[in-house]
Amino acid sequence: MEDCIFCKIIKREIPANIVYEDNEIIAFKDIQPAAPIHILVIPKKHIPSLVELTKEDEVIVGKIYTIINKIAEEQGVKEKGYRVIVNCGKDGGQEVGHLHFHLLAGKPLGEKIV
């Protein structure tokens, strides 16, 4: 089966502005930023969605949050704050089928749904 778009970014088959990478996680700028800082933080493992998460993925999800905080610090927004969004499935508005965490920051982020 063909790799998804984010797996292609991981394999450097399509370009992205990468801001963080280790052996398990990669983070890159969203191609259509919804805020001055809009970074996607993803596991390198192809997990299609939060609904596909398994027990063995619990550690990587925890690590992703630590990395998000590290990136926020590097981007200079840790003090002012940021928002993390995970769209999940059809009703959640997920468009790319590879688990990703949106890190949004750099301005007041406006209306909250919750």
Choose between 79 and 111: whose C-beta lies nearer to ligand 5GP: 111
Minimal CA–CA distance to 48: which of 7, 78, 109? Answer: 7
At 30, the amino acid letter reads D
Q: How far is the CB of 59 from ligand 5GP (least distance, A)?
A: 22
Calculate the alpha carbon distances from 103 to 1, 8, 41, 94 in Å: 29, 21, 7, 15
**Among 29-37, 38-46, 83-91, 103-111, the segment contacting Zn ion (CB under 5 A):** 38-46
At 70, the amino acid letter reads K
101 binds ligand 5GP per the rule CB under 6 A: no
Site for Zn ion in 73-102 (CB under 5 A): 98
Active site residue ranges:
100
